[in-house]
Chain A
Amino acid sequence: MRGTVMEKESIKSFWKQSVHLMERIGSGEKLVLSDLLEPVKTSSSLAAVKKQLNRVKSKKTVELPLHKEEIERIHREVAFNKTSQVLSKWDPVVQKNRQAEQLVFPLSKQQSIFAPIEHVVSGWKARTPLEQEIFNLLHKNKQPVTDPLLTPMEKASLKAMSLEEVKMRRAELQRARALQSYYEARARREKKIKSKKYHKLLKKGKAKQALKEFEKLRKVNPAAALEELEKLEKARMMERMSLKHQNSGKWAKSKAVMAKYDLEARQAMQEQLARNKELMQKIQVASESAEEEGGAEEEGEPFVPDVVNEVQMKVDRPNPWMFRNHSGDTKEAEVQGDPEELAEPAAQEAPESEEEGPAVAEEILLKEFEERRSLRQKSGLNQIAKPVGSQEAKDLSSQEVLSELRALSQKLNRESHQSRKQELSSTRTVLVVQREEAAREEEEPLLLQRPERARTLDELEELGKEGCFQNKELPRVAVEGQQLERNPSNHLGVPKEKKRKEQMIDLQNLLTTKSPSMKSLAVPTTVEELEDEERDQRQMIKEAFAGDDVIRDFLKEKREAVEASKPKDVDLTLPGWGEWGGVGLKPSAKKRRRFLIKAPEGPPRKDKNLPNVILNEKRNIHAVAHQVRMLPYPFTHHQQFERTIQTPIGSTWNTQRSFQKLTMPKVVTKPGHIIKPIKAEDVGYRSSSRSDLSVIQRNPKRLSIRHKKQLKKNSVD
């Protein structure tokens, strides 16, 4: 209310009313503020005052001006942001120039890329009257302007069909569309049905239908039926693999919580489990030829039509594991895994041919097989007599047998394949089957006696391989033995360390090799004359070399080299320090141990596993002088840098072009040209950056909204 001058009249009226108030005071009544304000309200002459009052109320106090430093700081910040924003547009340019393979100064403007002629032509317009006339003509006749092979008419005519064709096509399409809409409508309707019973019935009906169809298919087209069966099998496999119906899903878990109280939930869970069981069940179809599965019967294995098995044998599945699994399933508990499995495919495949040749061969093979078996048994008996090392020998022999088995089976297979090729019609003759079975019966007891056997085909194969390997190695070992016997000095020198002995053996192996056939190798004349004496000569050579043992010398040399390259221990013991010293007195072992500084074990030698090689571990200091020893800037690991310098850049290894490209200088300056600083125009920016900068510098008070806000915030604080 300061600074306002009331008018006289208004004061008068005010007083008039206040007289009334005075009276009230005199009567002893209490006065409230509102009573006091009342006269003000009523009097219209005081409106101006009121307005003023209101205005004052709405106005805030003027803030204190900020510190000078603070203002400056804000200005600086703003200026920095602005400038960096302006300058940031140069970032890509700088980046590009840094990464550029070559910079040519003075920088020239980017040249426009050559446009393909089609683009040029499409943008081209006829200007001269002649051109216009020509183009008019062309356009009128719908002649192609840019692609003058075909006119649009011609193209259309090429694409067009005959009327009848079109009609037929349209009808077809209409029909298809109608059918689709019907089908969709039906599906939608059926989907809407909420009755569970209905769906259950539907499902059952479908299942029945499927079964019926399958039966029919089996009669009409067994191959297709088999496919169906396989599908079932696949579903079973999938089920076995997945946890879909194992009551382990989210839904099933929630149901499991409910199941205690909710009958429905329990049922649902059971249903799911039942489904699982159903899917997991093996396909069981009554077999037609029960006598086929002689071995399987006793184990109570479910019957499977042999057709199924056979097909699975024949069909080359992509995944061999599946095949193996299956065969394993069918004869899981068979007493003898290997021979049965080996013989079975043969038995199933071989009889398909009635030719005499392969059958005879088979017989012979089987005989051979048995002979070997008996032989092995004998050797087994021998082994029992020998207590020491029998285990190894047993292994060996069994592996040998296994390898033989494998070879046999391969032979059989090969033969059967050939025979199958020869004859297409495949009928089983009773005779062959009988013989086959007889053979198997003969084998079985023998096989039962075997203490160790391989169970799967796979294992068998592996063992066979090992056996082969061992067989190969055997002669070598024998040779070794002979040599060791012949060279007693070897025996004396070696047995220090087992490891060294192994090395030795390796070396021996390396140096003794069998000689391949001498066929078609022209023999020098002198030898031809002395061919029968060759053996004697060899003997002579052996005798000549008996004295100097090359291998031992070499090993010794190697040992010395290894010792020399090892880092040496430092012995800091002072004899006589803390104890008696003198001639013939040695510092105590404890002391020596204490003051011996063991050298750290160096990296393993490169020739550690190469018995016949001594590699020099010394650094080639002359070559090292030529090597890079500092990593250039961006690289943090030497491998990274090495990778960038692995490609040779010389003209010897590169084509001329690539050589020039590889060796071109990073910066090229044209002689006689002034190199001016880079300008915005040079790199394709329109406005010059300098003007932006100057604006800011000249007029630092021009602030962005954001910064105004910031200012305000500062002032509030």
Chain B
Amino acid sequence: METVPKLGNNVPPKKDKLQGKKKKPWERRSPGPQRSLSGAQDPFAGPAPVPVAVVQKFCRIDKSKKLPRSETKIRSRLEAAEAQEEEISVKAARSELLLAEEPGFLEGENGEDTAKICQADIVEAVDIASAAKHFDLNLRQFGPYRLNYSRTGRHLAFGGRRGHVAALDWVTKKLMCEINVMEAVRDIRFLHSEALLAVAQNRWLHIYDNQGIELHCIRRCDRITRLEFLPFHFLLATASETGFLTYLDVSVGKIVAALNARAGRLNIMTQNPYNAVIHLGHSNGTVSLWSPAMKEPLAKILCHRGAVRAVAVDSTGTHMATSGLDHQLKIFDLRGTFQPLSARTLPQGAGHLAFSQRGLLAAGTGDVVNIWAGQGKASPPSLEQPYLTHRLSGHVHGLQFCPFEDVLGVGHSGGITSMLAPGAAEPNFDGLESNPYRSRKQRQEWEVKALLEKVPAELICLDPRALAEVDVISLEQEKKERLERLGYDPGTKPPFQPKPKQKGRSSTASLVKRKRKVMDEEHRDKVRQSLEQQPQKQEKAKPMGARPSALDRFVR
């Protein structure tokens, strides 16, 4: 073997520390080295400096918006908030130190195409533990498989078209349950933990536990084609053949919303992990975005000339990949514009798409899986060159990247394949949130906490940050009502009322005169202010327009 792909945790180049103009307090070291009693000097006096870029990552106050002029009292509040934010983000940046693991990667030797590196090479190069993560389950009997990893990435559930349902701890290969439901299985999904399993069967939705015991049969959700679980809302979203998108709250067992998509059979569904919006693909080339709080889609995006075949959204919620019957694979920007960033034609079109935690995009076309990689975590995958390709023994039917493991699970007609995709997953996990190594007790503890922190379903909207904004319409309405109620606006200055004066000086004429004086003064102030503002406006306006060139005079 000539090429030995490098795989592992090489130390990436250190982040360069940005030198801002203004030194932040956490950057500043104490001016002179402190003299200690012994006379020895601390070579690293003061707190350790934190790189600006890392701190920026945690800053959330949007300073781009310009605030109206504020009084000192408000300003002090704002300053306090900003100082607090900075302090917090510095603390968070310092704690980045604890994220010891680094993402893996695959590098071809001097410009070698990484797509040429096959799984066998990778398996050969990596350590035994990682090599064990590549395996094939040969299950030809029960036909194309759908699969799902649990949120911790430890467990795998898969269901074959012909009724074969199994769940296992795929790392240790310990089987939890294996049953045949004697009915077509359309989709399978873990609920909030690996103990519960939702299976979309031919007629109804069934829920099993990890022993394979049927717990519920939900008849209100019938003819389900796709399942999606929103972990923070405890909602199981189901898309049915009848064209309904149903949200089932699994914590209370109630159907939160049943929305009619009015677009025929629904069989393409994915969730946006950033804002828990459900994306549905339709046969008229559109992708619609849904929230249980709204009867109509939040947005409809025309993506393809033909029907949409697959949709996937990356973990940051910035990019959406779609593939259609027109054999196109497109990546859309989801941050407000919904415009395609890049597109390419695939020989047969991708039937299945999946994003990994770090932004790798996998596409299943026929019996081939292609993986594209971007520059970093939040960058869209560049579709020019595939990062990895792999040929399977059957046609792809389900795709999912395993969380926290560099593994891509592929369900196909020949069974299940777990292939290695270096750099796919987030290397560090949050032990309190999704701990792959948690015990039963810890899982129960987490379950309670998660239930306490359950997000109400109606909070799902396109921009979750908008919830932290004041409801301006209600505010205005309330203001108006108060004005109506009181007869005056308590916020504004009352109109000037001249005081009565003695000795005949309080005649109507003089009162009017005095009033007029005050009015004029106010008016003058206003004019003065506007005059002051005008030149600023003009200055602003100037650069906007096309600058007249000195050469214009020669234009005939």
Q: Which A positions have Cβ atoms within 8 angstroms of B?
A: 99, 116-118, 121, 144, 146-149, 455-456, 459, 507, 510-511, 513, 515-527, 534, 538, 541, 544-545, 548, 550-551, 553-554, 557, 607, 610, 612-616, 618-631, 634-648, 652, 654-655, 657-658, 661-662
Contact = CB atoms under 8 A, between A and B. Distances in A.
A610 B366 CA distance: 34
B526 interface: no
Contacts of A620: 291, 293-294, 458, 461
A550 B470 contact: no
Contacts of A118: 35-37
B305 A527 contact: no
A642 B470 contact: yes
B297 interface: yes
A524 B301 contact: no
A526 B347 CA distance: 10
A226 to B, nearest CB: 29
A627 B473 CA distance: 11
Contact of A639 (B68, B339, B390, B549): B68
Contacts of A121: 37
A487 to B, nearest CB: 11
A624 B76 CA distance: 29
Contacts of B453: 652
B209 interface: no
A137 to B, nearest CB: 19
Contacts of B73: 634
A526 B365 CA distance: 10
B17 interface: no
Contacts of A146: 37
B470 A554 contact: no
Given A618-B296, A627-B469, A654-B92, 10 more contacts: A99-B76, A527-B347, A613-B299, A622-B293, A634-B73, A636-B491, A647-B61, A647-B84, A655-B95, A658-B92
Contacts of B260: none
B28 interface: no
B339 A510 contact: yes
B474 A647 contact: no
A511 B433 CA distance: 41
Contacts of A513: 328, 330, 340, 343-345
Contacts of A618: 294, 296
Contacts of A518: 347
A634 B71 contact: yes
Given A511-B304, A557-B300, A612 B366 contact: no
Contacts, number: 244
B528 interface: no
B242 interface: no
A525 B366 contact: yes
Interface in B453-488: 453, 456, 458-461, 467-475, 478
A622 B280 CA distance: 22
Contacts of B348: 523-524, 526-527
Interface string B350-368: 0000000000000001111
A643 B67 contact: yes
Contacts of B300: 554, 557, 613-614
Given A515-B345, A639-B67, A644-B78, A551 B302 contact: yes
Nearest to B70: A640
B116 A520 contact: yes
B343 A610 contact: no
A638 B469 contact: yes
A284 to B, nearest CB: 25
A541 B306 contact: yes
Given A610-B339, A638-B469, A662 B84 contact: yes
A661 to B, nearest CB: 8
B471 A521 contact: no
Contact of B113 (A520, A613, A629): A520
B430 to A, nearest CB: 8
21 contacts: A147-B39, A455-B554, A518-B347, A520-B116, A521-B115, A521-B346, A534-B347, A545-B325, A554-B284, A615-B298, A616-B297, A616-B299, A623-B459, A627-B467, A627-B470, A634-B71, A636-B71, A640-B74, A643-B65, A647-B61, A647-B84
B284 A548 contact: yes
Interface of B: 34-39, 60-62, 65, 67-68, 70-71, 73-74, 76-78, 81, 84-85, 87-88, 91-92, 94-95, 113, 115-116, 284-286, 291, 293-294, 296-306, 325-328, 330, 337-340, 343-348, 365-368, 370, 383-386, 389-391, 433, 453, 456, 458-461, 467-475, 478, 491, 549, 551, 554
A291 to B, nearest CB: 30
A395 to B, nearest CB: 14
A554 B306 CA distance: 12
B473 A619 contact: yes
B302 to A, nearest CB: 4
Contacts of A644: 77-78, 81
B74 A623 contact: no
Nearest to B297: A616
Contacts of A144: 39
Contacts of A534: 347
Given A550-B302, A624-B474, A627-B467, A646 B296 contact: no
A616 B338 CA distance: 14
A40 B427 CA distance: 123
A627 B256 CA distance: 21
A459 B325 CA distance: 45
Contacts of B328: 513
B47 to A, nearest CB: 14
A106 B458 CA distance: 44
A59 to B, nearest CB: 38
Contacts of A640: 67-68, 70, 74, 77-78
A544 B78 CA distance: 60
Given A545-B305, A646-B60, A522 B467 contact: no
A615 B296 contact: no
A477 B23 CA distance: 52
A646 B475 contact: no
Given A455-B551, A520-B386, A623-B459, A629 B88 contact: no
Contacts of B389: 520-522
A613 B302 contact: yes
B115 A522 contact: yes
A662 B74 contact: no
A260 B541 CA distance: 46
A631 B116 CA distance: 60
Most chain B Cβ neighbours within 10 Å, of A525, A610, A622, A637: A622
Contact of A623 (B88, B293, B302): B293
Contacts of B469: 627-628, 638, 642
A524 B366 contact: yes
A624 B84 CA distance: 27
Contacts of A523: 347-348, 368
Contacts of A459: 549, 551
A216 to B, nearest CB: 40
A92 B344 CA distance: 67
A526 B366 contact: yes
Contact of A554 (B286, B340, B460): B286
Contacts of A519: 385
A612 B302 contact: yes
B77 to A, nearest CB: 6
Contact of B284 (A148, A525, A550, A641): A550
B368 A524 contact: yes
B468 A655 contact: no
Nearest to B395: A524
A437 B78 CA distance: 69
Contacts of B76: 99
A149 B468 CA distance: 58
Given A516-B344, A526-B366, A527-B366, A550 B35 contact: no
Nearest to A646: B61
Most chain B Cβ neighbours within 10 Å, of A146, A557, A639: A639
Contacts of A643: 61-62, 65, 67, 78, 81
